[in-house]
Chains A and B, each alone.
Chain A
């Protein structure tokens, strides 16, 4: 029973996280990287959220 409760909590968090990622990707004015070469490599710190975002 306790495993079911923990799994449900994890699923809730994951669904919210995925939904936020999708919304961010669709709304973002700059393309969202997906493990790309070079694109996000230089970005560090808070400014990375403004430009090429890491998904």
Chain B
């Protein structure tokens, strides 16, 4: 069965009635013969042809629409491709039914099989008013496309020459990676990782393909998997059933349907922009295409996109404002209650300053996160986000990135509220390693769900009347910075050509209310869970770093002496009440004035002592040390400590700032939320807030993202690069804004 050294095995595959057998006969001529394969009743024809001294063995596979195991023909075709490993598969494609026929092509490419497309019946297509740019189609798919007319034999010589050349080329054919959307992709990635780790059937099938078959519940693959590794097979089935259940709940659909939708979406995107021009349409994607004419229109598309983004921010900020205030008041009341039941001491400080003022600041933004996730879930479920990616492709290519980079950016928080970890993982769909590294280095510039509450707090403090507009501008700024940095990287350390753009456009879908709620709740739950676990834990660590070692005894004694001096000049009957802060009810006007003045002086000393202790703490000293450099961009020592904690997770910036302001606060600030405390701090200004926001937007990604970058790029250097380069870029930009603002005289006025 295996071909000899001078013989190349070729397979002909295609849909039924695509002209496959006609082409087979035209190519093989008199040399054809028919043979039965043992054990299978479906017939495969085999023929030979000689070309430049090489013998080509052609096997005509049964006509199939796909490579699933729904029919015997499909099984035969699939088994042959997997077991016989032909040098090239000639995929006969009916040019007049390109959408449907390319469905099989995509599956062949997912198997990582060398493919040459014979664009057959090109004359029939032209007579129906369909014009196909074969060269462009081949460029986008990264394979050879040869127009043919099997009936007249037109194009068969070119086809054979192309096939012979491709069969002899030492090219590595990697399986194509199609995104199947946010519900399936993460599970597919995990299943693929499991399969790779266990070496499960990897000699026969690409790991991602096996994972897909588990999602499609392919009986043949499942039975084979059960025999090879029952434990792993059971685990993969469990993952598949979880995603099936999830899709049923959220989209009232099932994996096969979603997979098919995304494949057709991929094909739809592939055939856009001049690859196919036709005067009549009648396929099932008609409505989506009609909508796309407006929503992805060159002029209206970007305008609508900006409008949608602006509406999302308005919706988020407007509807979350009151619930956020409720939560802030609730945490403030909780802090007051803890202070009233616990005597002063380290535990009270930990609970009030470390937990309630720290983590409470993060939890307070849960409503904002919830509304943002709801809006994003709506855009995602309708299929509009894919259109955004499609429209931005042209812009991205200008900056040396790829169309698929857009999705990685959006997942990372392109609209705000994403996460750089899955964003970095989403770069796996990029074929070019240089484009991929450029994307995974710049995706963390996006405004992820962790940065969002930090920005929201600073905007609430300094731009309370323009919140949606400022967030909209910050989104544009993050994209601009990411693209500029990408361009810089692509023209310096990662120079190379752009690869063709392939992006799936799934059909529009009306989201279900239940599905939106489930998607929104899943993400909000993750935010709350994270705030209640790792953020809480690290907040406590930073509270400790801000509390210890405490003031030396000599300095404590000095503050105590100041207090004693104030109490000493008071009438004896006032000393105790001033000391414990409870004013007696029956004081004369003169005594009441003395009491108030003394108490105010004591509060000042308390505040000064707390501030001195904070500055003397480990974190305080680090913050003050960094201030020598960071004062150029307006960052004070407290902000330095907060930004340092943000390396672990960006939400910690809020909790650390909350803790530091809580520990060194004057008593009259007790009930104020962090945003109000910052707004009333004379060290802060609008200009400083802008500089801090820019620094936070651009500086080093959080540690989980950095480890993900290292893992995905396979090199430590890119993780270290992203930390140092991003921080440097953030510093330069923040200095430019802060010093530029001051030079322009904006100073504290802005």
A residues whose Cβ falls under 8 Å from a Cβ of B: 3-4, 6-7, 10-11, 14-15, 17-18, 21-22, 25-26, 29-44, 47, 50-52, 54-55
Instruction: Give, as a whole number of angstroms, the nearest-CB distance from B543 to chain A.
Output: 9
Chain A residues contacting B376 (CB-CB under 8 Å) are 37
Chain A residues contacting B450 (CB-CB under 8 Å) are 34-35
Chain A residues contacting B530 (CB-CB under 8 Å) are 34-35, 54-55
Which of A31, A34, A38, A44 has most B Cβ within 10 Å? A34
Main SS class of interface, B: helix
Contact: B537 with A18, CB < 8 Å?
yes
Contact: A14 with B537, CB < 8 Å?
yes
With both beta carbons as reference points, the residue of chain A lying nearest to B373 in the complex is identified as: A37
With both beta carbons as reference points, the residue of chain B lying nearest to A26 in the complex is identified as: B707
Instruction: Give, as a whole number of angstroms, the nearest-CB distance from A26 to chain B.
Output: 6
Contact: A35 with B540, CB < 8 Å?
no
Say whether B431 faces chain A, with CB atoms less than 8 Å apart.
no
Chain A residues contacting B421 (CB-CB under 8 Å) are 31-34, 36, 39
Contact: A35 with B449, CB < 8 Å?
yes
Given contacts A29-B193, A43-B242, A54-B529, contact A37 B419 (CB under 8 A): yes
Contact: A35 with B235, CB < 8 Å?
no
Chain A residues contacting B537 (CB-CB under 8 Å) are 14, 17-18, 21
Provide the bound-state CA to CA distance between A29 and B190, in Å: 10
Chain B residues contacting A42 (CB-CB under 8 Å) are 183, 186-187, 242-243, 246, 522
Contact: B183 with A38, CB < 8 Å?
yes
With both beta carbons as reference points, the residue of chain A lying nearest to B650 in the complex is identified as: A34
Chain B residues contacting A37 (CB-CB under 8 Å) are 182, 373, 376, 411, 417-419, 422, 449, 523
Instruction: Give, as a whole number of angstroms, the nearest-CB distance from B73 to chain A.
Output: 34
Instruction: Give, as a whole number of angstroms, the nearest-CB distance from B549 to chain A.
Output: 13
Contact: A38 with B704, CB < 8 Å?
no
Chain B residues contacting A29 (CB-CB under 8 Å) are 193, 197
How would residues 694 to 720 of chain B score, 1 for a CB under 8 Å from any chain A CB and 0 otherwise?
000000001111011001100000000
Interchain pairs with CB closer than 8 A, number: 140
Contact: A11 with B704, CB < 8 Å?
no
Contact: A41 with B526, CB < 8 Å?
yes
How would residues 409 to 430 of chain B score, 1 for a CB under 8 Å from any chain A CB and 0 otherwise?
0010000011101101100000
Contact: B345 with A4, CB < 8 Å?
yes
Provide the bound-state CA to CA distance between A30 and B186, in Å: 11
The B477-528 residues at the A interface (CB cut-off 8 A) are 519, 522-523, 526-527
Provide the bound-state CA to CA distance between A2 and B419, in Å: 41
Contact: B346 with A31, CB < 8 Å?
no
With both beta carbons as reference points, the residue of chain A lying nearest to B539 in the complex is identified as: A14
Chain B residues contacting A18 (CB-CB under 8 Å) are 534, 537-538, 541
Given contacts A25-B707, A42-B186, A42-B246, contact A36 B347 (CB under 8 A): no
Chain B residues contacting A52 (CB-CB under 8 Å) are 186, 190
How would residues 561 to 603 of chain B score, 1 for a CB under 8 Å from any chain A CB and 0 otherwise?
0000000000000000000000000000000000000000000
With both beta carbons as reference points, the residue of chain A lying nearest to B245 in the complex is identified as: A42
With both beta carbons as reference points, the residue of chain A lying nearest to B701 in the complex is identified as: A34
Contact: B529 with A7, CB < 8 Å?
no
Q: Which of A6, A26, A31, A35 contacts B527 (CB 8 A)?
A: A35
Instruction: Give, as a whole number of angstroms, the nearest-CB distance from B429 to chain A.
Output: 15
Which of B348, B421, B519, B523 has most A Cβ within 10 Å? B421
Contact: A55 with B541, CB < 8 Å?
no
The 3 closest A-B pairs by CB, nearest first: A36-B419, A41-B522, A3-B347
Contact: A38 with B346, CB < 8 Å?
no
Q: List 8 A-B contacts (CB under 8 A).
A: A4-B347, A14-B537, A26-B707, A30-B189, A32-B421, A39-B186, A47-B238, A51-B194
Provide the bound-state CA to CA distance between A22 and B538, in Å: 11
Provide the bound-state CA to CA distance between A55 and B649, in Å: 10
Say whether B350 faces chain A, with CB atoms less than 8 Å apart.
yes
Contact: B182 with A38, CB < 8 Å?
yes
Contact: A33 with B422, CB < 8 Å?
yes
Provide the bound-state CA to CA distance between A44 and B186, in Å: 14
Chain B residues contacting A25 (CB-CB under 8 Å) are 703-704, 707
Provide the bound-state CA to CA distance between A7 and B183, in Å: 42
Say whether B544 faces chain A, with CB atoms less than 8 Å apart.
yes
Provide the bound-state CA to CA distance between A19 and B705, in Å: 18
Q: Which of A3, A17, A40, A51 contacts B526 (CB 8 A)?
A: A40
Instruction: Give, as a whole number of angstroms, the nearest-CB distance from A16 to chain B.
Output: 10
Provide the bound-state CA to CA distance between A3 and B346, in Å: 6
Provide the bound-state CA to CA distance between A25 and B702, in Å: 12
Contact: B649 with A34, CB < 8 Å?
yes
